[in-house]
Structures are given as structure tokens and as C-alpha cells.
A and B are shown apart, each in its own frame.
Chain A
Amino acid sequence: MKTLAFDTQALITALHRILPSSAVLSDAEDLRPYECDGLSAYRELPLAVCLPETVEQVRAVLRVCHDTNVPVVARGAGTGLSGGALPLANGVVLSLAKFMRILEVDPANRIARVQPGVRNLAISQAAAPYGLYYAPDPSSQIACTIGGNVAENSGGVHCLKYGLTVNNVLGLKVLTMDGELLEIGGAALDAPGYDLLALMTGSEGLLGVIVEVTVKLLPKPERAQVVLAAFDDVVKAGEAVGSIIGAGIVPGGLEMMDNLAIRAAEDFIHAGYPVDAAAILLCEVDGANEEVSDQILKVREIVKQAGATEVRTARDEAERLKFWAGRKAAFPAVGRISPDYYCMDGTIPRKRLSEVLSRIAELSQEYGLPVANVFHAGDGNLHPLILYDANKPGELERTEEFGGKILDLCVAVGGTITGEHGVGMEKIGQMCHQFAPAELTQFHAVKHAFDPQGLLNPGKAVPTLHRCAEFGAMHVHGGKLSHPELERF
């Protein structure tokens, strides 16, 4: 049966046999909303979209696709920024959007057990009556789902102190492509065997379909306070970040914005940002009341020493939230001043910040495309936003080329091509720069152990060596081809 030719109509008929008719979409107009995720420059219509609502239904969909060799792309809220949920033209999109139930909030053990389609923020809201919350807070947290967060190992502004998704998830229930249910980890710490929880987190839908997530909840800090410091030079702001951390302070959030980002955010939100500053730092400390008071004084002293031209401590909770509102709205704010923008996501060792920013500025000149920089400064995660106009012929292509150069720069200074947005479809080429062929081969071996037919989100996250050879042929660095050892096609 597996080797028989299988046409689309037969596939859709098979899906209708296992799902209610409203849970299978196959008309072009119904498929349209699923043609892209948050990276809308990449679009594709799948053969069908399935919207199961029970684990048994998910298993049945996987079995049909497994037996007919049809690839499957799992999808949460579709807010991802790297094209991880981009449909495949010959595949099925498996939406987990109907898995919206919070199964359990256990305040005594400080855990929540939820279905994968539950929104990130909804977990914290459900935990709030117990004084608890779920720490990772990607900027899309009102919309993005926990299943997608696990698939992408999402971050947020509090990672330096509270970790990424991988540090805050305790257990998963996962269906493999052949319909086997795996229970990984759970409410008891440090499960026996290999750390499959680490492997699944950030696996971008290539290893299994997440059908349940157990997360860790933390007590809400007694108090949070934020300092806003303005600088006339981004280098000074970068040095201030190092000094804060060197002084033994681990801020709950430590963010930097450059002038273009400051002005865009101020125009949009009126947070009271100093629009003449070359850079601002937002440094939030949280914890016990006395500790916060202590550390705020220290932070103020350190940023002054580092040459801040202005230092403000939020007067009250309203002002604290206002300071953050500007930062949290930085992306849409930039969206208001440019027809389109392309958000990059490299991580660098913080000490290399000034050279990376100067090089980005040079590239910006070269390409004639402005860049606004928003930076999770505490953990070195840089989000340059390239401003462009997709309606101008060739501008998207130039933007992508510029973006690619920024990522290569991140790798060159010892960083990485993606801090928290994932590789997806977007950075598949840059993976060939980040990893050697033997490492990519090892990734494929891991995938093969979970999904020997290669049907889960194939072609994303980990490039084939063939693809790297082709990609390398287009990008010549310093007169040297990447991977000269590979055959060229």
C-alpha cells in the first residue's frame, strides 16, 4: 500500500474518513490563511489542512500520512518568524489550534499541564490566582501557543535570569510519525534515560508532534523596578551592560534600543523615551523588595559611571509598564515607519557588540537600507530590523542578502544565526555556515532515529549536504567556497 501512487483526492477522502468534515480544509480559499506563518515573505499552499481535536485524531492523521508518504507540517498559532510552519506543496498542515485546554494547574507542585494550542499568556493568567506565572515571554505571547514555543525553544525578555522554554518545560507527550505516543519527563525532576526533553525543545516540528506540555510555574517576584538610561554612543551602552553583569547583578530584563528604534517606538507609544539618545538601556531588576532597592541603586551608579547622559527610575508601576510598552511595541513601531521590515535574530558574545553594530551600519550604507537595532542585551541576542519596501523590484532580495550577511557576521564573531526565532525555512542556508557537514549529518541521524521516512517538516531547520553545496556555490567568502570538500552539483 505504501508504494502505491496516491492522489490528492484520495488523501482528502482518507482524511475525511477519520475527521469531522469541518476539520479538513482543502479548498484554496480555506487554505489561504495557512499559506504562511509570521514570515510572510514565504508562502505556499498545502494539499490540505487538518484541525483535529483529540490525540486519537492526531494519531489517525499521522497514520494516514505515514502510510501514504505525505509530509506533515505541525502548526500552532502561526506566529513563528522563520517559516517553520510554512506549508509544503505536497504536504498536510496539522493545526493544533483546537487543543486549547488547560488540563491542570497544580499550585502545590508549581506546575501546569496544558494542551499544545494553549496561548503562552493564558498559562500565566491561569496561574495568577496562586501567585504563580510561566516565565518565558516571547513578544507574541498574547497569541503564540505553548506547543509552538516548545518547537522553537522560544525566548523573551527575561531569558538571562529565567531561561528559555527548554529551562521551563518539565514534560511532554509527543506522537511520533508512526503514531507512537511518547511520554517524556513529567512532574518529577530529571527523568531517567537520555534528555529527550532537550532534544524535542527547539526541534521545529522535525521529530514529533507535541500533544501535551507540562510547564514549571514560578512565584511572581515581590517587586520589579526598571531603570532607563540614555547614552550618546551605543558602545558606551554596550559597556554598561558588561559592567552591570560584572557587578554580580542578573537583571530580570536588560534591553537596548538604538536611535532609529527609539524614535519609532516613541512616535508610536509615547513612552517618554529620549529621542536624541544614540541608545537607551532598560534594566529591570526583580525579586525581594529589599534586594530590588539595593540593586537599583547599584545599577544607577554603574550606568552613570559608564557615561549615561540621563538616568531615570520608573516612579511607579504605571511608568514601569510604559517604559516596557515602548520596547515591546518596537517591532510594530518600526512597521509604521516602513512599508516592510525584516527581523533578524542573531546572538553574539556581548563583548563583540560594538564591532558588530559598526559593521551592520556599514552594510546598511552599502545596501541603502536603514536598520533599527533592538537588542536583548543581557543575553547577546540581537534583532536588527531591516527596513525595506517589497513593492520595489529587487528590494526583498537585497534585504535577504543583507540579512544573510548579518548572520554570517554573527557566526564569524563566535555567535549563532538564531537566538530564539529558529532556523525554519529562512536560515536553512546559513546553517551550512554554522555547522560542518559531519555535524549536519549527525542532525540527520537524530531525525532519522525519530522519523525514518523523513515526513515531519522535511526541508526545514537542517539543510541537506546537497543543499549546502548548492548554497555554498552562491556565497563565496574571502575567495574560498564554503565546504570545498563537497561535491558540487
Chain B
Amino acid sequence: MTPDADISAALQASVLDAIAQNRSLQIVGGGSKTFYGRAPQGEPLSVTGHRGVISYEPTELVITARAGTTLADVEALLAKHNQMLPFDPPHFSGAATMGGAIATGLSGPRRPYAGSARDFVLGVKVLTGKGEILGFGGQVMKNVAGFDVSRFMAGSLGTLGILLEVSLKVLPRPESEQTLLFECSALDAIRRMNAWAGQPLPLSGAAFDGGRLYLRLSGSTAALNAAREKLGGELAADGAAFWRGVRDHACIFFQGDAPLWRVSVPAATPPLDLPGEWLLDWGGAQRWLKTSCAPATIRELTAKAGGHATLFRGGDRQGAVFHPLSPALMALHLRLKAAFDPHGILNPGRMYSEG
């Protein structure tokens, strides 16, 4: 294992050099999500050397780690104290880091029931495109001093600053988990998942794949048994493996070269009439679509349903990977980008074309 190290001074020097020489930088973590976003540009700047857990207080429910610390290391440490990252961050290929998890802002199957990556961000230390190291938020649960720049960093894909440290709220692991199976149609699955989500049930996952509805319950054994009695269904043999497969895109559905779209719609939206194969997660709120259908068609239909579509993997990485913004929002995005990275050197164009 790579030793813990604080290389923030070296990273800062690299940013200052890049400013002076008018070069752009591509921020590189564990490389597990290089496929995500628009094609990376600029000279690679690795942050993986900046690693190590800085503080962890199980009874405070807070962990602070340098951005290059791997999720695997963080989760192993939390597991020792029977705690977890509640937003279930995807690891994909396995080398995922804390910085990458927050910079992409991606969350796993637990997200609709527990909250998203940004929901658990309490504070960050960030190296901006001006070469300044700034701290926002902190290590306490409630903090409304100043604009919420730490949560704002989540999902900004390194276009505003290089995350150096992240403080996250953590939660106890549930005493036990069970996954129930139901054979049904997609339409029926969407109805059931949303009806259950409106009831006081200990849900922590709801997905539909290949004609089967998977429902995960988390809580005390007594509570799970009581819930099972209400819900029926069949107990899945290896529920944990199923949810890991969905989270990390490791299950069969995600194999193959067809472009993969993430379609986000209000959870109870009936199945969308788009050609391709579907896997529904987040109780219907996040729908994976493998298709070669034209992007414009996908976006039009998704927008009509009140949602947005991301070309998650494959397809044209030079084009509009993320759902286009309204002109007013796009103009605001460019002004915010300039407020943090006035020289435009950090991950240029990774989210939207800045030209």
C-alpha cells in the first residue's frame, strides 16, 4: 500500500506553473471513472500521492481524508467500526478515490433512500485554479456559515478546483440486510417500487433487471422479518453481489460496447418509449439504457418526462455528454467556472464545452 503523504505543496506548485505557462491540467485520481464526462484534455496531474485518513471519530460520525485515499481503504476502516459511506459510491474498476467519488458526485443504489454523495459532504479543502488552497464547511454536522461551496464542489468534475481533503458524514451499517425478488413487468415494478417507497418500510435499494424486481431492506432483523411478511416475494440468494454488480456496473447488463445512457426522471414515470435495453435503479429514478438511438431523441423524450439524460459511457465523448443547459444556466456556469478557475486550466471542457 502506498504510504500516506501530504503533497498539497507540490500540487499547488504544479497549478501555479500551469498558470504561468498557460497550460491546462487534467486531474487524475485512481482512473476508475476516466470514461466519464467529456474527453479529458490537458497535461495529467495525478493526485493519488496525496493520501491518508486525517481524522476519523466514529462517535462524531465524521471522516476526513486526503483526496487520493482509495474508497476501498476508507470503507475498510469504516467497516472496522461498523460504519459506512451511506451514498454507496461506485468503485467501477476498483481504484476509485475519495476525491474522484466527490468530484463526480456519483452515488450507488442506496441513494434515493439514504442521500447522494453531496448530501454527505461536510467540508472540503480545495486547490482552486488560482492556485489558492481554501477551506469550506468543516467537520460538524450543521454549518451554514458562508455559501455551501463544499457541496457545490460535488459533481463539478474538477473543473472548479482540485479537491485536497474531504470531510464526510458517515452512518452506522445496518444490523442486517435482505434482498427480496419479485417477477413482474417494468411498468408493474415502477408502480410497486414507488408505492412501497411511500410507506414506512426499511428500504435501501429497489431495482428492476431482466423481468425481476429486486428490493433491498436494511435494519434490525426483527424489522426486516416484519417487512418481509408485508411484502412477500422470494429471498435472493446473494443480494449483496447483485447490488455490488449494479453499483459498479459489473453485472451482465453493463457488458458490451453499446453507448450507455443514464436517464434520470421522476421515479414514478412509466417506462419511456425508447429502443434499447433497460435496467432500472433508484426505485425508477435512475434508468440505465443501452442503445444506439440518436441522442436528440433520447434527450427530447427524457426532458418531456421532466428529466435529463447523460451519455454515461461510450458514444461520442467530444459531444454533449451531459444534458444541455438552458442559455441562462450555461452563462451562469461559465461565470462560476471563471470565479474559481479564471485561467480555465482545470479539466477544461470535461463537463461542458467552454468555447
Q: Which residues of A line the B interface, CB within 8 A? A: 106-111, 130-132, 152-153, 155, 159-160, 163-164, 166-167, 176, 180-184, 186-196, 198-199, 201-203, 206-207, 219-222, 242-243, 245-246, 248-250, 287-291, 293-295, 347-351, 376, 378-381, 414-423, 427, 431, 434-436, 438-440, 442-443, 445-450, 461-462
Contact = CB atoms under 8 A, between A and B. Distances in A.
B143 interface: yes
A163 B219 CA distance: 19
A130 B200 CA distance: 12
Task: List the 9 closest A-B pairs by CB distance, nearest first.
Answer: A198-B151, A248-B172, A290-B222, A379-B141, A419-B142, A188-B307, A449-B335, A445-B339, A108-B268
Given A287-B223, A420-B142, A423-B144, A245 B268 contact: no
B253 interface: no
B198 A288 contact: no
Contacts of B198: 107-108, 110, 130-132, 219
Interface in B120-167: 128, 132, 134-136, 138-149, 151-152, 154-156, 160
B152 A194 contact: yes
Given A419-B142, A450-B332, A288 B264 contact: no
Nearest to A434: B145
B142 A194 contact: no
Contacts of A418: 143-145
B333 interface: yes
Interface in B328-353: 328-329, 332-333, 335-336, 338-340, 351-352
B128 to A, nearest CB: 7
A164 B135 CA distance: 21
- In this complex, the member of B107, B138, B351 whose beta carbon has the largest number of chain A beta carbons within 10 angstroms is B138
A233 to B, nearest CB: 19
B112 A195 contact: no
Contact of B144 (A153, A181, A291, A293): A153
B308 A415 contact: no
B247 interface: no
9 contacts: A109-B268, A163-B119, A195-B105, A199-B147, A291-B220, A414-B140, A416-B143, A440-B146, A461-B146
Given A187-B266, A350-B59, A442-B149, A202 B200 contact: no
Interface in B163-178: 171-173, 175
B12 interface: no
Nearest to B265: A188
Contacts of A194: 152, 155-156, 160, 333, 336
A419 B340 CA distance: 26
A474 to B, nearest CB: 20
B146 A248 contact: no
Interface in B296-312: 306-308, 310
Given A181-B328, A188-B306, A219 B147 contact: no
Contact of A446 (B58, B105, B336): B336
Interface stretch (B40-48, B89-97, B318-326): B318-326
A49 to B, nearest CB: 26
Contacts of B62: 349
A153 B146 CA distance: 11
A246 B107 contact: no
B66 interface: no
Given A202-B144, A248-B82, A427-B145, A222 B336 contact: no
A443 B307 CA distance: 31
A219 B146 contact: no
A325 B177 CA distance: 36
